[in-house]
């Protein structure tokens, strides 16, 4: 789906709302980092923290996929049995 087809891009800043289902452990971890942020006053509000966490996770996952793609297509990423 292109950005033009996205029905959620009605917000003035063109952001798409995302819902994340957390288990109890991850919800506790999220609340702990948000509480620490509030204590240290690093970022403006909880929404900024959640956005940063999501963007960081997305970036990390993209890097994992990139490395997996590189390993799958490079000779170093194949087993010896696959080489003549």
What is the rounded distance in angstroms from the CA atom of residue 19 to the CA atom of residue 72? 32
Q: Which two tokens stand for residue 10?
A: 């009605």
Is it the case that residue 83 has pLDDT exceeding 80? Answer: no
User: Over the stretch 46-80, which tens digit does the pLDDT of each residue have?
Assistant: 888 999 999 999 999 999 999 999 999 887 655 55
Q: Are 71 and 77 in contact (CB under 8 A)?
A: yes
pTM of the predicted structure, to 2 decimals: 0.65
User: Among 37, 32, 7, which residue's Cα sits nearest to residue 22?
Assistant: 32
Note the pLDDT of residue 37: 92
Tokens of 8: 């959620």
- For tokens 């956005």, the residue is 51
**Rounded CA gap, 69 and 71, in Å?**
6
Residue boundaries of the structural domains of the chain: 3-78
């Amino acid at each position: 789906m292109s950005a033009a087809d996205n029905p959620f891009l009605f917000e003035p800043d063109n952001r798409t709302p995302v819902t994340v289902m957390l288990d109890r452990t991850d919800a506790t971890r999220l609340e702990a980092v948000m509480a620490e942020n509030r204590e240290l006053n690093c970022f403006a509000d909880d929404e900024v923290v959640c956005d940063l966490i999501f963007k960081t996770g997305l970036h990390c996952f993209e890097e994992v996929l990139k490395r997996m793609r590189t390993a799958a297509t490079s000779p170093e990423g194949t087993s010896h049995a696959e080489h003549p």
